[in-house]
Structure 1
C-alpha cells in the first residue's frame, strides 16, 4: 500500500511545523527515512518533530556520532545521520538493530548509506530546493511516500493537519 503527498514549504517555520505534524501523526513509534541534498531541511524537520514532543534543547545533525538519542516526555526518538557511514554494516557496530527494535520514533537522514541493514520505513520523505517565483531558491518541496499501512495512516493525518484534505 502506498500513498503520496507533495507540498511546498515556504520557510523554516513551515518546515518545523511539518515535523510537528509528523510527530503528531506517528506518535511514539515509526521509522522515517529522510532524503535530500545537504541543507535541504532534514535536520530542521527533525527539530520540528522533537519540539512538538517537548524537547527544548538544541537539535543538530549527528553527522559524526551517527545517532543522537532523545527521551522527551516518555517518547524515545533516535535521530540518525548516516552521511559519513562508510559501510552499511557499521550500523551493526553501533547497535543499530537495537535502536530499531525498540518502541521509538527513528528519523534517518541519508538512509541509502545504510541500505541492506535498515528495516523498512513507514514513511519516505524527500526534500528538494524549490523556487516559488523563478528568480531565487526560496523554499523546499517535500514529497512524502507512505510505505506501510502505519505510514499510510500517518500520511493521511499529516495531509489533514497541513490542510491538504
Structure 2
C-alpha cells in the first residue's frame, strides 16, 4: 500500500562509479535497522550500488550478489550489512527464512528483487529503483521512494 504523501526523487547517473558514489552517500546516512530495497532488471546496478554503500560503512570485503546464498552478512563496518537477493524466492518460500530478524536487527538490510517478498516487508523502508536508459550503455535512472518519515529524511539529505 502506497502512502499518499510519499514523494519520489529521481536522478540520473552516467557510470558505474556514479552509481557506487550514490550508494556511498547513502551509506554515510544509514542507521541500525534501516531497510533499503533495490529493484531493477538484471545488470541495472543493484549490486554496484550496494558495493558503494558497503565501502562507506567500512566494509572492505568484496561485495558480490548473494543470488545463490540469498543472504550475505558483512560485519566489519561501523554497522553490519545484510545483503539479500530474493530473486530465487519468486515462487515463495520466504516466510520461513526469518527475514524480519534481519529487518529488525542491528544492521542495515539491502534487499535486491524485493517485489518477491512484498508481503513480508515492514511498512517503512526506502525503495530504490534502477533503470537502464535506452540512449547510453552506462546511464541509469535511479528513483528513490521513501516510505516513512525517517526514509524521507534520508532522501532529503541525499538531495543536498
TM-score (norm 2): 0.90
Q: Could you tell me which residue of structure 1 aligns to residue 97 of structure 2?
A: 94
State the 4+ residue runs in structure 1 displaced beyond 3 angstroms: none
Give aligned pairs, total.
Answer: 156
Q: Which runs of 5+ in 1 are unaligned?
A: 161-165
Report the RMSD for the aligned CA atoms in angstroms: 1.6
Aligned pair partner of 2:44 in 40, 45, 68: 40
Rounded Cα–Cα distance in structure 2 between residues aligned with 1:95 and 1:65: 15
Query: What is residue 61 of structure 1 aligned with on the other side?
Result: 65
TM-score, with structure 1 as normaliser = 0.87
For the Cα contact (< 8 Å) 1:3–1:155, is it kept in 2?
no
Q: How does 1:9-88 map to 2 (within 5 A)?
A: 9-88=13-92
The answer as to whether partners of 1:33 and 1:121 remain within 8 angstroms in 2 is no
- In the alignment, structure 2 segments of 5+ residues that lack a partner are none
Partners of 1:73 and 1:36 in 2: how far apart?
Answer: 26
The worse-fitting range, judged by mean Cα deviation, of 112-121 and 42-51 is: 112-121
Q: Is 2:142 the partner of 1:142? A: yes
Shift of 1:74: 3.8
Over residues 81-129 of structure 1, what are the superposed CA-to-partner deviations in whole Å (9 max), with x where a residue is unaligned?
A: 00111444x2333221211121221111001111212223421111000
